[in-house]
Amino acid sequence: MARIDVRKTYKLYIGGAFPRSESGYSYVVNDAKGKFMANASLASRKDARDAVQAARKAFPGWAARTAYNRAQIVYRIAEVMEDRRPQFVDAVQRSEGRTAAQANKVVDDAIDRLVWYAGWADKITQVVGGANPVAGPFFNLSTPEPTGVVAVFAPQESSLLGLVSVVAPAIVVGNTVVVTSSYERPLPAVTFAEVLATSDVPGGVINVLTGSAATTGPWLASHMDVNAIDLTGVAGDADLAKSLEEASAENLKRVRRAPSAEPDWSLDPGIDRMTGVLETKTVWHPVGI
Amino acid sequence: MATKKATKTPSTQSSPVFDYAPAPESRAIVDIKPSYGLFINGEFVDGGGTSFKTISPATEEVLAEIAEADEADIDTAVKAARRAHTRVWGRMPGKERAKYLYRIARIMQERGREIAVLESIDNGKPIKESRDVDVPVAAAHFFYYAGWADKLEYSGYGTRSLGVAAQVIPWNFPLLMLAWKIAPALAAGNTVVLKPAETTPLTALLFAEICQQADLPPGVVNIVTGAGDTGRFLVGHDDVDKVAFTGSTDVGRAIAKAVAGTNKKVTLELGGKAANIVFDDAPIDQAVEGIVNGIFFNQGHVCCAGSRLLVQESIADEVLERLKRRMATLRVGDPLDKNTDVGAINSAEQLARIKELSAIGEEEGAGRWSPPCDLPSTGFWFPPTLFTGVTQAHRIAREEIFGPVLSVLTFRTPAEAVEKANNTPYGLSAGVWTDKGSRILWMANQLRAGVVWANTFNKFDPTSPFGGYKESGYGREGGRHGLEGYLKAEVN
């Protein structure tokens, strides 16, 4: 008789732990062909708030890490993903309905993107900051600093490469993140969270919620302890994007608007996903003897 | 701005040895017309709204009748700006745009005295500030950004202009805020429709004349006057590509909501409640000058004003004593007098707000103190004031007063100073006073604010990015960073 396999429970990832949804709700996740894959936790308002709390708690320590250290940790995520390639290829293949060759390419790109962003940790400051030649006897220097807690809505279609492409730029420059995964394709996000848990990423730096942006969105957009919001995953739903942007105005969150359609994640990402969650601080000091 | 020198630092008492004779700047250089229209497409035109009066806050004298732009006027102005962008300015080589901006900078310098006098009459600020800060720094902004116009490919933000910029500015630095808005917008190839504040329209209208003298193509700069409704029409117009606003956090929030769901790019420079932190090893006399400059410069009508003094407990008594002595030497009065340190409060409305919050400070138990101070009988005036025994729960420690009112709090350790300084929804600026270098750098790291002045305060420069964290808004003005809000990449 064939062995009965042991199935995995797909849970949320908050503050370095894997809780089920506080609400007790889950939802059915099917593969691209409509066949049952798993039940995923359906993140609730309370889960979103718990995740923000965890992200806020982790922020000072993560922002204070040296850029070199953040680079090493993001590179470590890539290493561990590479080590678990088959699992990601399988997850992408089933979730996104791709061929094995296509799924392999997606995983390649996701790992390479992490490596690319890892290298930015200790370079972005020199690229976007600098000395300002003011007309007076002053030392004057502008440097970028992380804006704080960023609520990210991950793309709906690209469940792994898209996810990595929106999360990595926010954390590599020192922010902490609450990411809501693709609703229909949440399983790669949970597997990614399991990689994070074993990659020296401190608990709370990346918090992963599975479920619907329409559910978690209003609570994250109106949360007064969230500093920035990335609506990429709301692409195509102009009404929801607008209402989340309006709610975000309450504490002047930095808003990255939803594109009209999901971007092509295989393209060169540029640096604006990092600069959009950076603040510029300018320090003056007199020069004299 | 120049740090005020303690021209007479009384060693033992606060009463001045000599009185100052009046030294008024002549008004003759300024020709204020009885009425002003809107500046649209290179010409002054009538406005469709109900005209209003602008007054001198120092005397309440009516200065001129100002047209109010209604929705149709805004539409006309935006269309003019769009046309100018499409046909002329957006396609003009950067090196030619640069020459117009250099021209404007030069004319502002040439007419500097006239602009300074007009600014002080309309705004109420001391002539020595409008003459030494507002006007020269405004001209410097045009000079600085002129040089960027043909170097955009090195900016890192792309080279394409956005189109039409809707810009709304406050009354505290009318001409300077105009320069912060218009100079980078034009350098990047955008055209603008700018609304000055309703209480201080005159220097913006004089700037319109400067555009004419510079032969700036019609429609590149449009000035529309009016109050909140005019601003709402402008920000809400469907055909603007960019909204830039400086003003209160409440209005900034409303603008952020209004642009939700559009493709308008937004930069907001909003309120502040800056901590000015004085450690026990600070050079006390310099720190006292910095505290005075931080809160009494421009009557405290400064978004980045050092309105919360955090002083280390061990030196609090000494600092307060010296601060009070210094405050007693501040000369409050005629903005056009060259010896005046503190001018008029900009409007009756703002004066009422300052009085209300100060009364609340007393009711909540803080100790109120002002030096003996003769205030003029007409106009809007408020004496330099400080509150002691202020806690973080007090409204005067939390809300932006936007007047010459300083709240004094104490701390014991650097960590406590950081915690108190950051305990605000704002994050525009902060000040640190200490002789210890490593502590300055540590504090500068910890403070969640866009500008940190160490052993100085209220310094501004066209090359230096300015703007806030948190609810003080987003985007930067000044420097290379100031171009970001007006450019886009080649492909997107």
Question: In this predicted model, what pLDDT tens digit does every residue of B75-96 receive, in sequence order?
Answer: 999 999 999 999 999 999 999 9
Q: Which residues of A touch B274 (CB under 8 A)?
A: none
Distance, CA of B275 to CA of A173 (rounded, Å):
26
Angle between helix B228-236 and B71-84 (nearest 10): 40
What's the gap between Cα B206 and its chain centre? 18
Distance, CA of A241 to CA of A213 (rounded, Å):
10
CB contact under 8 A, B260 and A246: yes
Is the per-residue pLDDT at B13 higher than 60?
A: no
Digit-coded pLDDT (tens) for B229-262 = 999 999 999 999 999 999 999 999 999 999 999 9
SS3 A261: coil
Query: Angle B83-B86-B92 (CA atoms, 0-180°, nearest 5)?
Result: 120
What's the gap between Cα B359 and its chain centre? 26
Digit-coded pLDDT (tens) for B426-482 = 999 999 999 999 999 999 999 999 999 999 999 999 999 999 999 999 999 999 999
Residue range B305-327: mean pLDDT, rounded: 98
Considering B119, B269, B400, B477, which one is annotated as catalytic? Answer: B269
Average pLDDT, chain A: 97
B303 is catalytic: yes
Average pLDDT, chain B: 95
**Are the C-beta atoms of residues A59 and A173 closer than 8 Å to each other?**
no
Residue B18 makes CB contacts below 8 A (sequence gap 6+) with: B8
For residue A133, what pLDDT is reported? 98
Considering B68, B129, B211, B303, which one is annotated as catalytic? Answer: B303
Torsion of the alpha carbons at A26, A31, A37 and A41, rounded to the nearest 10: -20
For residue A156, what pLDDT is reported? 98
Residue B25 makes CB contacts below 8 A (sequence gap 6+) with: B116, B117, B120, B127, B131, B336, B337, B338
For residue B10, what pLDDT is reported? 44
Q: Quick check: ipTM above 0.85?
A: yes
Is the per-residue pLDDT at B12 higher than 50?
A: no
Q: Could you tell me the pLDDT band of residue B16, with boundaries at 50, 70 and 90? A: low
A133: closest chain B residue by CA: B463
Distance, CA of B418 to CA of B442 (rounded, Å):
10
Phi and psi angles of residue A97, each rounded to the nearest 5 degrees, phi first: 65, 40
For residue B20, what pLDDT is reported? 83
Residue B362 makes CB contacts below 8 A (sequence gap 6+) with: B368
| Two structure tokens written together for B263 | 């493709």
Q: Could you tell me the pLDDT band of residue B17, with boundaries at 50, 70 and 90? A: low
Q: What is the largest CA-CA distance in chain B?
A: 68
Digit-coded pLDDT (tens) for A174-232 = 999 999 999 999 999 999 999 999 999 999 999 999 999 999 999 999 999 999 999 99
Query: Angle B465-A123-A111 (CA atoms, 0-180°, nearest 5)?
Result: 130
Residue range B163-182: mean pLDDT, rounded: 98
* pTM to 2 decimal places: 0.95
For residue B9, what pLDDT is reported? 44
**Are the C-beta atoms of residues A225 and A52 closer than 8 Å to each other?**
yes
For residue B1, what pLDDT is reported? 40
Test mutation, B440, B459, B483, B488, chain A, max A CBs within 10 A? B459
Q: Could you tell me the pLDDT band of residue B4, with boundaries at 50, 70 and 90? A: very low
The answer to whether A136 faces chain B, any CB pair under 8 Å, is yes
Distance, CA of A272 to CA of A281 (rounded, Å):
18
Protein fold of A9-286: Aldehyde Dehydrogenase; Chain A, domain 1 (3.40.605)
The two beta strands, A138-146 and A130-131, are: antiparallel
Q: What residues of chain A score a pLDDT lower than 70?
A: none
CB contact under 8 A, B465 and A282: yes
A272: closest chain B residue by CA: B157
Q: Could you tell me the pLDDT band of residue B489, with boundaries at 50, 70 and 90? A: confident
Distance, CA of B118 to CA of B288 (rounded, Å):
31
Q: Could you tell me the pLDDT band of residue B491, with boundaries at 50, 70 and 90? A: low
Residue B13 makes CB contacts below 8 A (sequence gap 6+) with: none
